[in-house]
Chains A and B, each alone.
Chain A
């Protein structure tokens, strides 16, 4: 008889006791539950306060990271109904041009342009993608990939909305605190909001559509309407990101419809892990600052960046967040197995 070993995974005590109603009997268990939620909240809210120590350059990186995180969250939400978007730039650019146009033409303050761009941009994206939500898989992706390019060329060729030069000299925010805290709070709001939404009955319907849309349809649910609602929410979040950055840069141009804004969120979600929203944010908070650190390498930057990306995808295909979550909630040990009696 040969004895060999296999890895065994066991849930930690508190999770075994109860999955949704937390029975908390000690500070240790309270910490166990609260810490993973408190760390990102405190972290994201604290960094802006340390701007003297961190330096204004890294504060700017934080703003960009929060904005890209919003695009990643929006991508992950679309993914939760099975829509793979390759056109986050479309949402982003729509918001940017909405805010830029309203600010330039009517001289409205960001206090109005950003909310209008958020809702209007979401509605605009949802209406434009309305015929496309019936498509599944790669077809939806291709359309979303083509849309920002289409609009970029229309703006360039038609010389509308500032043409190639873009809309310049827009109203900036009058306080650095607004610049730092608005994206941070929006990010936390979306992160925890989406995580909550996906576990409600409404969220279960959404996840059902991803798993088996025909079965959901046979249960009397208009899947196209639900998908449209999700495109609206995802579009609004993306448009908010675009509208905010427009006022931050005081500029709205065709670069907002560029491929960067489509691919970067996608990469971040793949690295962080899809389906949990936290993975999307974690991935962005790794990749975007990493790109900044690698600036020191000059032209070799892309090489290092690609290598690190490859390493993540090969070593942790499930995503960093899923891996960490598993390590946190379960412990592993070797159990003996009897082979070949």
Chain B
């Protein structure tokens, strides 16, 4: 597939929780290799949208197409095997395992086994390589520590490494930077930029707009479950509706 074709297509997605309209008629397309930011005030349905795309929640109506294949309502593990990796907003690592052993799980998935070279090499070595990419020094004790004892910034980067281990085509980051210190963000941002430059398609949900706009060229704004704006960051931020709904006076 050449660059420019839509890799992800969301068509008229709807989801109600009882009387609450969590997502109403949200549609968007994302081209191969593109990067999209999703922003919006708290409770506007951003995480619900991720859960709907990755099928952790089934939509009431609407469709999700990935590489022109309808993936609406497939089991989450099937979607992951097709090449969509997601991070969780509240990462819960496998506490009792050493950090690098956490990566054994994605490396053991059918997708990685099927991909070229996925069956070769000790999984432990592959895991340590992946962790080195996200800043766990191989020679230091950090990758060998029990995941439950890692500081929050490392846990988030471990989550990032777990997504990368799947070798996905599309990665969805659900508030990767939340709870990270400034220095942790500063060291993680280049990793994300690098992933984007390598041609992976990214969807990033984020509250830290300055960091987000360094990576994405397009943003969608959600408010009360509806899409209220879609376009390049500068244009979107200038729109009156967005300012009213979300940013108030805090435009950066």
Contact of B162 with A by CB under 8 A: yes
* In the complex, A219 has a CB within 8 A of chain B: yes
Q: Does A204 lie within 8 Å of B80, measured CB to CB?
A: no
Known A-B contacts A205-B104, A208-B105, A211-B96; the reply to A218 vs B88 at CB < 8 A is yes
Complex: A44 Cα to B96 Cα, angstroms: 31
Q: Which A residues are CB-close (under 8 A) to B111?
A: 220
**Minimum Cβ distance to chain B for residue A83 (Å):** 17
Asked if residues B97 and A215 are in contact (CB atoms below 8 Å), the reply is: no
Pairwise interchain contact B92-A204, C-beta atoms closer than 8 A: no
Chain B interface size, as a band, is 20 to 34
Please give the distance in Å from B47's CB to the nearest CB on chain A. Answer: 13
Evaluate contact between A215 and B77: CB separation under 8 angstroms: no
Q: In chain B, residues 91-117, which have Cβ atoms closer than 8 Å to a Cβ of chain A?
A: 91-97, 101-102, 104-112
**Is B88 touching A215 in the complex (CB atoms < 8 A)?**
yes
Chain A CB within 10 Å — which of B86, B104, B111 has the most?
B104
C-alpha spacing A219/B109, complex, angstroms: 7
Residue A202 is within 8 A (CB to CB) of chain B in the complex:
yes
> Nearest-CB distance from B93 to chain A (Å)?
8
Are A221 and B109 CB-contacts (below 8 A) given A201-B104, A205-B104, A215-B88?
yes
A216-252: CB near B (< 8 Å → 1, else 0) gives 1111111100000000000000000000000000000
| Contact yes or no, B77 A211, CB < 8 A | no
B96→A207 contact, CB < 8 A: yes
> Which chain B residues in 54-73 approach chain A with CB under 8 Å?
54, 56
Which residues of A in the span 23-43 have a Cβ within 8 Å of any Cβ on B?
none
| Residues on the A chain within 8 Å of B81, using CB | 220
What's the Cα separation between A23 and B69 when bound, in Å? Answer: 54
Quote the shortest CB–CB distance from A307 to chain B (angstroms).
33
- B94 close to A211 (CB less than 8 A): yes
Could you say which residues of chain B place their CB within 8 Å of the CB of A12?
none
With both chains docked as a complex, state the minimum distance between the C-beta of A313 and any C-beta of chain B, in angstroms: 22
Give min CB distance, B167 to chain A, whole Å.
Answer: 10
* Residue in B97, B106, B112 whose CB lies within 8 Å of A207: B97
Contact of A219 among B91, B95, B105 (CB under 8 A): B105
Q: Considering only CB atoms, which chain B residue lies closest to A219 in the complex?
A: B106
Residue contact B105 to A204, C-beta cutoff 8 Å = yes
A330 at the interface (CB under 8 A from B): no
Tell me whether A107 is interfacial, beta carbon within 8 Å. no
Q: For B80, what are the chain A residues with a Cβ–Cβ distance below 8 Å?
A: 217-221
Which residues of A are found within 8 Å of B56, using beta-carbon distances?
A: 214, 217-218
Q: Are A208 and B166 interface neighbours, CB within 8 A?
A: no
Assembly CA distance A142 to B111 (angstroms): 35
Q: Are A201 and B123 in contact (CB under 8 A)?
A: yes
Cα(A192)–Cα(B97), bound, Å: 20
Minimal Cβ-Cβ distance residue in B for A223: B77
- The answer to whether B77 touches A220 (Cβ under 8 A) is yes
User: In the complex, A52 Cα to B235 Cα: how many Å?
Assistant: 92
Measured between C-beta atoms, what is the minimum distance from B54 to chain A in Å? Answer: 7
Q: Is B153 part of the binding interface, using a Cβ–Cβ cutoff of 8 Å?
A: no
Chain B: minimal CB distance from A185 (Å): 31
Residues of B within 8 A of A204 (CB): 94, 97, 101, 104-105, 108
Beta-carbon nearest neighbor of A200 in chain B: B104
Task: Provide the bound-state CA to CA distance between A217 and B93, in Å.
Answer: 13
Contact check, B76 vs A218: say whether CB atoms are below 8 A apart. yes
Known: A208-B94, A215-B92. A221 touches B105 (CB 8 A): yes
B108 touching A212, Cβ below 8 Å = no
In the complex, chain B residues whose CB is within 8 Å of the CB of A211: 92, 94-97
Q: From residue B24, how far is it (CB to closest CB) to chain A in Å? A: 25
Inside 8 A of A223's CB, which chain B residues have their CB? Answer: 77
Residues of B within 8 A of A216 (CB): 105
Most A CB contacts (10 A, CB to CB) among B88, B97, B108, B109 go to B108
Distance in Å: Cβ of B96 to nearest Cβ of chain A: 7
- Which one of A201, A215, A218 has the greatest number of beta carbons of chain B within 10 Å? A218
Most buried by A among B94, B162, B165: B94
Q: Can you list, as one digit per residue, whether each of B179-222 has a CB less than 8 Å from chain A (1) or not (0)?
A: 00000000000000000000000000000000000000000000
Cβ–Cβ contact A221 & B85, under 8 A: no
In the complex, the answer to whether A220 meets B96 with C-beta atoms within 8 Å is: no
Q: How close is A218's CB to chain B, nearest CB, in angstroms?
A: 6
Does B75 lie at the interface of the complex (its beta carbon under 8 Å from any beta carbon of A)?
Answer: yes
Known A-B contacts: A218-B86, A220-B77, A221-B108. Give 17 more (CB < 8 A).
A204-B101, A208-B94, A208-B97, A211-B94, A212-B94, A215-B92, A215-B105, A215-B162, A217-B76, A218-B56, A218-B88, A220-B109, A220-B110, A220-B112, A221-B77, A221-B105, A221-B110
Q: List 15 A-B contacts (CB under 8 A).
A: A201-B104, A202-B108, A204-B104, A208-B94, A211-B96, A212-B94, A215-B94, A217-B56, A218-B76, A218-B86, A220-B80, A220-B81, A220-B112, A221-B77, A221-B108
What residues make up the interface of B, taking CB atoms closer than 8 Å to A?
Answer: 54, 56, 75-77, 80-81, 85-86, 88, 91-97, 101-102, 104-112, 123, 162, 165-166
Top-8 shortest CB links A-B: A220-B109, A220-B80, A219-B106, A220-B81, A211-B94, A204-B104, A217-B76, A208-B105
Q: Which residues does A use to contact B, with CB under 8 Å?
A: 201-202, 204-205, 207-208, 211-212, 214-223
